[in-house]
Amino acid sequence: EPEVTQTPSHQVTQMGQEVILRCVPISNHLYFYWYRQILGQKVEFLVSFYNNEISEKSEIFDDQFSVERPDGSNFTLKIRSTKLEDSAMYFCASILGSSGYTFGSGTRLTVV
């Protein structure tokens, strides 16, 4: 079964540092998403990406965040200057059309 792959599985970073979270969506999927889930809280939408550009973003996705699809397969989320409150699980997801979303196994980001 096709998978969405995320790396790294766990990232520890110091406050103020930049991090890049990587995702390889399912190859024929068209829409890509980043979500985050703070421990014990709900899954929150960050950004959606279609046709090589951002299609929607939430209030959480401020100027500290950016996304790229640098080479047609990878889909990255960059946090420029991490804050303690950025500590969360970050999930990448992709979808072909109106079928269900396939999530990657997530990156646990810990900001210290």
Partner 1 sequence: RKEVEQDPGPFNVPEGATVAFNCTYSNSASQSFFWYRQDCRKEPKLLMSVYSSGNEDGRFTAQLNRASQYISLLIRDSKLSDSATYLCVVNPRSGGSYIPTFGRGTSLIVHP
Round to the nearest angstrom and report the end-to-end CA distance of the chain: 36
Burial classification of residue 107, based on how many CB atoms lie within 10 Å of its CB (0-12 exposed, 13-18 middle, 19 or more buried): buried
Closer to partner 1 at the Cβ: 72 or 100?
100
Q: Cα–Cα distance between 88 and 38 in angstroms, integer?
A: 4
| Least separation in angstroms between CB 98 and partner 1 | 5
Strands 53-57 and 75-79: unpaired
Write the binding mask 3 to 42 for partner 1: x where contact by CB under 8 A, - elsewhere: ----------------------------x-x-x-----xx
Amino acid identity, residue 24? V
Closer to partner 1 at the Cβ: 28 or 71?
28
Whose structure tokens read 């998978």?
Answer: 3
Residue 65 binds to partner 1 (criterion: CB under 8 A)? no
The footprint of partner 1 on residues 77-106 (CB under 8 A) is 89, 91, 95, 98-106
Name the site residues for partner 1 (rule: CB under 8 A): 31, 33, 35, 41-45, 48, 50, 55-56, 89, 91, 95, 98-106, 108
